[in-house]
Each structure stands twice: as structure tokens, then as C-alpha cells.
Structure 1
Amino acid sequence: MHDGLRFAIYDKTGSFRCQLEGVDATADLAPNAVPTATFTLDDDRKELADITANGARCGVWFRGKERFRGIIQETPGDGPYGKVTAHVRGDIRKLWHWQGRPVPSAGLGDQTSDYRVHSGPSETVFKDAVAENLLRLGVPWSVAPSLGRGTATVASLRFHPLADKLLPGLDADHLIVALSYDGPNVLVDVRQAKTVPGVLTIASGIPEGYKYERSGPTATRVVVGGRGEGVDREFVEFRDEALEADWGDIIEGFKDARNTEEGADLTIDAREALAEGRPKSGISTTLNETDRFQYGTTYTEGDLVTVRVGPIQRAQPISVSITETAGEGVVVTPRIGNVEDDTTDALARDIARLARGIRDTGRR
């Protein structure tokens, strides 16, 4: 049985067409991010008719399990007698394609509320908001019942991409979006990240070279501004006195919560702002697979692994890259944190953060 990457090709209705294995291929999987894969074929393969059809879809399998499914977004090639490379993007991408409307049950001309505000455990907020807008869109997607996992959070939607407002709450609680398939039907659920037993150190042979960072707090007390204007606006202050005592420092911050409903609990916004301003530490490193540390057996993407290097010991979620070539065979590279070879990755994250802020501002 082939133990590498395998690709099941479907048409736009979800009907199976063909499958491929033993080709040069890559896959990248990270929690609550769009998974991607590529595979390359000679340009005379008969399967290319299915792969290049409009709306063609692909299930990406590895070690006996479908890891994700999505659309074949691009198929660039060269010739004559050349190669075609298929680029697959996972279906979680739809959370960036679909918006949360203020009144999902009404037409565009009847959006009579400024925002649709969801509050509760992060899993419930995510599932309620997604379910409302799936109904509006009329797509063959459904949402599993919420188990009420996660901490209290608030999401305010006004034509925002669902991912912008809903995924941060899941990330904070280590809840991972999971999609399952029955033909064209998609079920949206979340799973709780598992913690890999033990602590990985350089002596274990699993972490390679690493980077770590440690920074102090950027806010120890926060003023939250609620609804209202001018002197009539509601302001409430919240303090993390234990953090101030620990660092011997006072740092004031401000949180704009004018889009909350009248009488809303502003402590939720305050906790979010204080959490963003807490001291930070993190480790970035690639990991080595061993017999005791294997993708699909010991861990999967999003699971937490505790690594101790330098002065830092921290549990962080795992992402994974998989490559398969005729020369090297199958190589699995787990990683934690943001491993940056240059400033490009950091710049990309900053641009993404800025884009979310611009989208937020443009919808008010």
C-alpha cells in the first residue's frame, strides 16, 4: 500500500473521477488556516481532463486518511512535452469567502441592524454565526450541534468575512475547524486540540535549530468605551493588578466597544484586550519525525506539543509540511511557531493583520 500522498479527484458535484499517487507532491496543514497541496504530472496524462475541469475538486490523503478536501484552484503548465502542476486549496477557505450579515435572515435591503452580535463560548459563537449564514447562502453545508466548548467571547458581524471574527476565539481555546464530507454535503464541526505527552528538548533529537522570543506586557489596565457619544458615552476601566505587581509597571490601553448592544457585558471586551496585552513568549522550530513522534499517530495539525529550549518552556500548536519526490521519498516536517527565513513571512502576517483592520473599519 502506498504510504505517501494520494489525491482523489472529484467533479464540481462531488462525484469521484480518478485518483493519483506516487507523484511529486507537497502538502501544508496548519490549524484554522487554509491547507494547501500541489502535485505535478506529465502533460500527456489522461487524468488532466478531470483535473482541469471547471470546479474540479481534490481530496488529499496521507497515511490512510483524508486530511482535507478542496478546490483545484490553479493548473499552470509548460510545454510541449512538459508538466502541469495542480494547486489545491482546502474548503475552510470559504470562511474567508462568505460574509456574516447583520440580519442573515433578511434581504440586502432589509439589514435593519448595525451588527449581528454573537456571545457565548467560542464554539457556540462560531457555529451559530456560520449556521445562520449557510442558511442564507443555500449551500449544502450544515453545522454540528455545539458542545459549548471554549471561553466566553463576542463576535460582531457586519459584512465581515466569517473567518476574521470567528476564528480568533477558536484559536485562543485551541479548537480546530473540522470538515467532513458526504458527496457534495459538508458538515462543519470543531475538535479540541490534544496535548502530546512529554516535553521535547534538544536532547530528545526532535527539535532542530530554534528561535524564541519573550516580551513584557503592552497593557495592564484597559478602558472600554461602550455605546453612546461624547459625554454620554459609557466608559469602564478594568485592571490586571497581579500583572502590574509582577512587573512593577502600569500600562493603560483603550478598547472601542461602541458596536456592542446597549447594556452588554463590557468585561468580555476588557478580558480580550488584557489578554492581547499580556507578556508573550514563544518558540519557533522545525521538528524531526521519529518512531515515537509521527504525524497521524502521535499528533495531527493543531495538537499541542511542549518544547523546552533556552529559557522558554511552552506548549504550542503543531503545523506540518509533507513533500514526496522520486528522489527523496516522503519527508514529513512538523513545526511550531512562525519559522522565518527572512522578513517576508513577518511582512505577510502584518499585511494580513492590517487587511483585517481595514475590512473592519470599512464596514462601520
Structure 2
Amino acid sequence: DEECVEDLLTAGARARVLYRADPAENPRTLLHHVGGRVVTQSGDDNDGNATCTFALVDDWDLFNQMLGRPVPGSSLATGQGTGVWAATGPAETVVKALVNANAGSVPYTLTVPASSGRGSTITVNIRMTPLTDRLLPALDFAGIGISARMNTSGGITVDAFAPTTHTAPITERSGLVSGTYAIAAPTATRALVRGGDVSGVPKYRELVATVLEAEWGFTGWTYVEATDTTDNAVMDARAQEALDVAAPKVSLSVELVESDDWRYGVTFGLGDEIPIQMNGAPLITDRVTEVEITQRIGEGLVVTPRIGDHTNTPDQVLVKAIRTLARSARVNMPGRH
């Protein structure tokens, strides 16, 4: 309505979009779909019929904007030293500790509930890079998701959640519209890490993915520079990061259609793991990565869930490639670990 439009036109406006996922059974229950700052506005006037279009960036972008400082809270001029901020523990605990440590660097009031210790053990080392550069690779294998949502006081609540793992596969009969997949072999199974000097002698450690070597009948090496540390746990974590990058890759891009038994916010949510059975393909399990909700004349709300790496336009492919290259460049720059 006009009042909402006026609010959205204000510089620095923030908005939240709620979705009534189950109007028949739970009409009063609203699902948070997206919320954050308005980043673009556009409009047109056609014979007096004016329209305005607004684009939001979800508050999850917080993790792209925050830089992980080696010594959070200390002076940028003299207090950052030459080391890294490092932590090892359950994924939820490490993520929340990192966010809390750098909360003072963003203009929002952050609320971070106490950790429940969910997720597998991860190690994060960070020095002046966006949090996503270090968190996303680690969380891919940790079994939890991280949310950042606008709260009633206008701040942002950062929390963890455990996605649901579904066992019944989705097929063409149960909602699969279209999809593609690709499977690639590992590019390395052994990581050699060079650490700092101990009594003038370089320290080396090796990590071997023995299960992968037996499964694929392949041995390949990757080399990691970690001259800022001689700590075994940190060196092993760097080695594991390299092996995770070199691990077998399953690329899946699937578009689904909702049904009575398959409904966003009722039977599944973002981040859930879903087994997909395409014709002529092996059974592949991947996450719900995107849910598009559109309002169409004559059809009402149309909900389109997507699973896996869904980059269906040249712009999306280009943006993802640029982001991946930028993250790789930042992580591998001298002095950044």
C-alpha cells in the first residue's frame, strides 16, 4: 500500500517478508522468508498507473560484510599483530564465538543465543577476510545451518539450526520438474602442509584421505603453505580444508513443484537435505538452496523450490565465478590465513 511504499523509499529502509505457508490448517502462522535492507528501488509511470519495485539484501549478507579480525576489539592501528584468530570446536560454538568477537564492527545490534554445541568439530582461522570466506567451506561439512534474521527490536539475531534430512526420494512423479547432475573424481587425496620453522628447520605434516584412495583407486597430492604456525591442530585443519576442496564433487541442479505432501514451511525448509532420483542417474542427496515465491495473475502464489547449485542465467554463473575467484584470492594472499 502507499504507506509501505513511502517507508520503503526512505534511505536506509529495512523490510521483512513473511509467508503464510499453511493457510488452511494454520492461517495465523507466518514463516520468515526474507528480511534485510533495501538496496535498489525503481519505478515507472504508464498513463498514471505507477509501479515501484524494490530489491532487498537478506540479513544473511551480514557474514559477507563482517571482517574477521585477528584481535577483535583491539585498535586497527596497533592492536592486530601478525597472527590469526583461531578456534576449534563444534561448528555452532565456533561460528557464534566468531560473530560475537566481531559484533562491534557492524552498525546493528546483534543477538547471539548461547551455543548448544551442534555440528561436527571445525577449525576456523581468519585474518581480515569476510566471515563467509572461512565459514562457508567449514559449514559445508558440519551438518548445521546459520541464520541471520531481523528481530522485533530492529537488530539481527544470529542463530544455528539443524536441517532436516529426508529419506524418501523425490522423483518425476512426486515433484521433480527438471534437473541436471555431474559427478567429478577427487583431484587430491593427500595434503602436505609446510608450517613454520622449529629450531631453524621447516615443520611438515601430512594428511591422507585413506577412504577416498581405496574407493577411487587414486593418489594425488596438494601442497599448503602455513608458515604462520607450528601448531599441529592448525596445520591439520589447513590440510583438511585443502582436501575438502579437492574431494569428489557432485553438482546437482533441480527444480521442483509443490504438492499437498511437499510444501515449503510445512514439510521442508531451506537447508534441508533431499534425495533426488532422476531418470538414468544415481540417487543424489543435496540441500534445498533456494525457494522462489511469485504472485501470478490467475494462479495466486507460486512456490518453486530448487535443490543444489541452481545457476540458470549467465549473470548468476558469472557472479558465482567472480565470488569464488575473489574468495580464493583473499584466502591465498600472503599474510591472510
User: Which one of the candidate residues 348, 352, 355 is aligned to 2:319?
Assistant: 348
> Does the 8 A contact of 1:212 with 1:312 survive in 2?
no
Quick check: 95-104 or 132-141, which moved more? 132-141
> Does the 8 A contact of 1:152 with 1:268 survive in 2?
no
Runs of 4+ in 1 over 6 A off after TM superposition: none
- Find the residue that maps to 2:86 and give its secondary structure: strand
> Structure 2 CA distance, aligned partners of 1:138 and 1:332?
34
Cα separation, partners in 2 of 1:182 and 1:105, compared to 1, 3 Å: same
- Find the residue that maps to 1:282 and give its secondary structure: strand
- Using the size of structure 1 for normalisation, the TM-score is 0.81
Compute the displacement of 1:259 (Å).
3.6
Counterpart of 2:114 in structure 1 is: 145
Quick check: 354-363 or 122-131, which moved more? 354-363
Counterpart of 1:38 in structure 2 is: none
Mapping 1:111-126, distance limit 5 Å: 111-126=80-95
Compute the displacement of 1:303 (Å).
0.8
Counterpart of 2:328 in structure 1 is: 357
User: Which one of the candidate residues 1, 6, 10 is aligned to 1:53?
Assistant: 10
> Structure 2 CA distance, aligned partners of 1:145 and 1:261?
32
- 1:84 aligned to 2:56? no
Mapping 1:146-295, distance limit 5 Å: 146-180=115-149, 181-202=151-172, 204-228=173-197, 232-260=201-229, 262-295=231-264
Cα separation, partners in 2 of 1:247 and 1:231, compared to 1, 3 Å: farther
Question: Structure 2 counterpart of 1:57, which letter?
Answer: R
**Residue ranges of structure 1 left out of the alignment (5+ in a row):** 1-19, 21-44
Cα separation, partners in 2 of 1:230 and 1:76, compared to 1, 3 Å: farther
> Structure 2 CA distance, aligned partners of 1:73 and 1:344?
18
Compute the displacement of 1:58 (Å).
0.7
Counterpart of 1:134 in structure 2 is: 103
User: Which one of the candidate residues 36, 53, 72 is aligned to 2:38?
Assistant: 72
User: Which one of the candidate residues 64, 71, 76 is aligned to 1:108?
Assistant: 76
Counterpart of 1:6 in structure 2 is: none
Cα separation, partners in 2 of 1:119 and 1:76, compared to 1, 3 Å: same
CA displacement, residues 214-246 of structure 1 (integer Å, 9 cap, x when unaligned): 111111111112223997221112222332233
Q: Which has the higher contact order (CA 8 A, sep 6+)?
A: 1
CA displacement, residues 172-201 of structure 1 (integer Å, 9 cap, x when unaligned): 223222234131232211101112341112
CA displacement, residues 234-270 of structure 1 (integer Å, 9 cap, x when unaligned): 1112222332233222211112233446454432222
> Structure 2 CA distance, aligned partners of 1:244 and 1:55?
53
- Find the residue that maps to 1:130 and give its secondary structure: helix
> Does the 8 A contact of 1:134 with 1:142 survive in 2?
no
> Does the 8 A contact of 2:36 with 2:59 survive in 1?
yes
> Structure 2 CA distance, aligned partners of 1:362 and 1:184?
39
- 1:321 aligned to 2:289? no
> Structure 1 CA distance, aligned partners of 2:212 and 2:165?
27
Compute the displacement of 1:344 (Å).
4.2
Cα separation, partners in 2 of 1:66 and 1:264, compared to 1, 3 Å: closer
Compute the displacement of 1:46 (Å).
4.4
- Find the residue that maps to 1:316 and give its secondary structure: strand
CA displacement, residues 103-146 of structure 1 (integer Å, 9 cap, x when unaligned): 11211122124211122222111110100111455741121111
Over aligned residues, Cα RMSD in angstroms?
A: 2.4
Quick check: 296-305 or 344-353, which moved more? 344-353
Counterpart of 2:63 in structure 1 is: 95
Cα separation, partners in 2 of 1:265 and 1:356, compared to 1, 3 Å: closer
- Find the residue that maps to 1:123 and give its secondary structure: helix
> Structure 2 CA distance, aligned partners of 1:287 and 1:320?
10
> Does the 8 A contact of 1:160 with 1:363 survive in 2?
no
CA displacement, residues 301-326 of structure 1 (integer Å, 9 cap, x when unaligned): 11111112233212211121111133
- Find the residue that maps to 1:50 and give its secondary structure: helix
Question: Structure 1 counterpart of 2:162, which letter?
Answer: Q
- 1:331 aligned to 2:302? yes
Cα separation, partners in 2 of 1:229 and 1:122, compared to 1, 3 Å: same
> Does the 8 A contact of 1:196 with 1:303 survive in 2?
yes
- Find the residue that maps to 1:225 and give its secondary structure: strand
> Structure 1 CA distance, aligned partners of 2:108 and 2:130?
16
Quick check: 233-242 or 191-200, which moved more? 233-242
- Find the residue that maps to 1:106 and give its secondary structure: coil
Question: Structure 2 counterpart of 1:292, which letter?
Answer: D
> Does the 8 A contact of 2:197 with 2:230 survive in 1?
no
Cα separation, partners in 2 of 1:167 and 1:217, compared to 1, 3 Å: closer
Identity %: 30
